[in-house]
Amino acid sequence: MKTPGDIQIDLADGIATLRIANPARRNAVSSAMWHKIAAFAAELPERKDVRVIIIRGAGEQMFSAGADISDFATARSGEGQARAYDDLVESTCKAIEAIPQPTIGMIFGGCMGAGSSVAASCDLRVAADDAFFAVPAAKLGLGYDPRGIARFIRVFGAGATRQVLFTADRLPAMRAHALGAVHVVAPAGEVEARTMALAKQIAGNAPLTIKAAKAAIAAITTDDSDLLAQAEAFYAAADASADYAEGRKAFAEKRPRSSPGANPSDHVPHLCN
């Protein structure tokens, strides 16, 4: 029997949109879908035509209800399988975090369980004012992966993470915005336009500068020395790039900078993942 759900990918003007599409199960993510999301993320370091990635749920009712529980009877039935499934979710979230281009989570409705992990793996989040995050593991008696908890702490802070995990209650988008975890909150009817405006603004900037900044932020927030060395290399490459030369010239001439330069791989191929 065919597993329900899939991912859908669209590309326009340098902005790729990935939709988690499983409406019959409130956009829950099956094992096959986790693999497809990770495979798409793995392609992006080499994609010169993609400057920003938006991740969203299909429709405007739910970002994602989390892992598809209908999978659990076969994919998460014993301790060994449970750990393997958690490894799949975590590796997919890490693949999203490792995308060199900026990522934006566009959030309607609920981000639940592993859906919250996907949203937390994005660099920025734009949410409807009635959206929420929730992790119902305590109601299910399900152990929650400490690696996922570490991600929540980085994004939402330890206090909000305790509340969400201990109570299994909702964290409203408005409170997440106050915590700095959601960057834009808007009425549901404006979320798509606000997300696209943010994506276009980012896409119009110099990609090498953004790549270097993203790598540095990741290195500092995770205290990863290897990432820091990579960030320093990206920083040096940005300063030596045609993007920087054009930006200086445009500033001096009091005009908009021209279309951003080539993908970082054109300048530093040995540094691309």
Contacts of 206 (CB under 8 A, 6+ apart): 238, 241, 243, 244, 247, 257, 260, 261
b/e per residue 34-57 (b: at least 16 CB within 10 A):
bebbbebbeebbebeebbbbbbbb
Q: List, for residues 58-70, the tens digit of each pLDDT value.
A: 999 999 999 887 7
> In the chain, what percentage of residues exceed pLDDT 90?
68
Binning pLDDT at 50, 70 and 90, where does residue 222 land?
confident
Give me the pLDDT at residue 3, please.
56
Domains, in order of start, for the chain? 6-203 (3.90.226.10), 207-271 (no CATH)
> Per-residue pLDDT for 46 more than 70?
yes
Which of 114-118, 157-161, 180-184, 253-257 has the lowest average pLDDT?
Answer: 253-257
From residue 37, how far is each of 112, 130, 146 by CA, in Å?
A: 17, 26, 21
Specify the higher pLDDT residue, 266 or 208. Answer: 208
- In whole angstroms, give the CA distance from residue 198 to residue 104: 9
Please tell me the predicted confidence (pLDDT) of residue 80.
64
Separation between Cα atoms, residue 88 and residue 163, nearest integer Å: 26
For residue 98, give Cα distances in angstroms to 13, 184, 211, 262: 22, 23, 11, 20
127 band by pLDDT with thresholds 50, 70 and 90: very high
Check pLDDT > 60 for residue 140.
yes
Tell which wins on pLDDT, 85 or 8.
Answer: 8
Other CB atoms within 10 A of residue 225 CB = 9
**225-241 tens-digit pLDDT:** 887 888 788 878 776 55
Tell me the pLDDT band of 243, cut-offs 50, 70 and 90: low
Per-residue pLDDT at 241: 54
* Count of CA atoms in the C-beta half-sphere (13 A) of 125: 30
